[in-house]
Amino acid sequence: MKPNIFQETAAAVAKRFGVSVKALRVYEDAGLLKPARTVAGWRIYRQPELERLGAILALKQLGLPLKRIGELLHGSGDLAAALALQEAALEDAKSETEQALALVRAARAKLADKRSLSPDELGKLVRSTAMSEFKWNDKMEALAQKHYTPEQLAELRAREFTAEDQARVGAAWAQVYADIDALGANADPASDAALEVGRRAQALIGEFTQGDPSLFKAAGAMNREAMTDPALAAQLPAQAHWTFMGKVFAELKKRG
């Protein structure tokens, strides 16, 4: 039997897996991939590297930072273990999707019967659907690379941020957006209810930036550019939410 001499270039691998060549370099710089080199210095990816890349992407889809992925794949890239984790996450996502679908169908049925949704029902509906919308992808990664400095990205990815933390923060933001919707289209940003929502949003922003204004600036710039891409904008909170929060933040600043 002939030895497995399968190999591909970085461009071919990027196309096969639906990622960018730049992403492959990021994984290599992080020590997650070690492609071989030709005599001329070109990177080539063989079967072991492809399996390891599959494991990296499977874990990345779970929302894990590169540092954590490196810890899980330390030594040999265990694709089977990564897929087992991904399968469990997909089962969880399937359950959440089914629950959200049931809520959407119930809401449609109620509206078809000429009945309105209560604020509690509306909030629950928004939270259940918004929490499963956002998916990190290569476009978001490219924007992060553009707007954050390498030092900022390294610091963010080095943070201990568990799946439970991600769920908690996601739920908190979903509640903020739902509460803004519940205030109505012509809500007063200086109202007590609006200010309370604004304080919660500021606390979440503070948790992310940890008092670093440059992180806040980078996050804002990244969000604004993401909103210009229809595919990304569909996954992000409506611009109206951020416009309203900006007004609320201005009111909070006036109050010191």
Task: Give 51-71 pLDDT, tens digit per residue.
Answer: 888 888 877 766 667 777 887
Q: Are the C-beta atoms of 129 and 169 separated by less than 8 Å?
A: no
Co-location of 110 and 144 in the same domain: no
pTM equals 0.48
Co-location of 246 and 142 in the same domain: yes
Residue 86 has pLDDT above 90, yes or no: no
CA distances from 72 to 64, 90, 113, 135 (A): 10, 19, 51, 21
Question: What is the structure's pLDDT at 252?
Answer: 93
DSSP structural state of residue 23 = H
Residue 199 has pLDDT above 90, yes or no: yes
Taking the CB of residue 13, how many other CB atoms lie within 10 A of it? 21
Co-location of 48 and 164 in the same domain: no
Co-location of 90 and 142 in the same domain: no
Where does a domain end: 115, 133, 157?
A: 115
Question: What is the structure's pLDDT at 129?
Answer: 56
* Domain interval for residue 78: 1-115
Structural domains in the chain (count): 2
Co-location of 121 and 111 in the same domain: no
Average pLDDT over residues 214-235: 81
Question: What is the structure's pLDDT at 189?
Answer: 93
Average pLDDT over residues 201-213: 88
Residue 170: HSE in the Cβ half-sphere, 13 Å Cα cutoff: 20
Q: Which residues contact 165 (CB under 8 A, 6 or more apart)?
A: none
Confidence of residue 185 (pLDDT cuts 50, 70, 90): confident
Residue listed under structure tokens 């929490």: 131
Q: Are the C-beta atoms of 251 and 189 separated by less than 8 Å?
A: yes
Co-location of 97 and 130 in the same domain: no
Residue 88: HSE in the Cβ half-sphere, 13 Å Cα cutoff: 7
Co-location of 177 and 51 in the same domain: no
Q: Are the C-beta atoms of 36 and 1 separated by less than 8 Å?
A: no
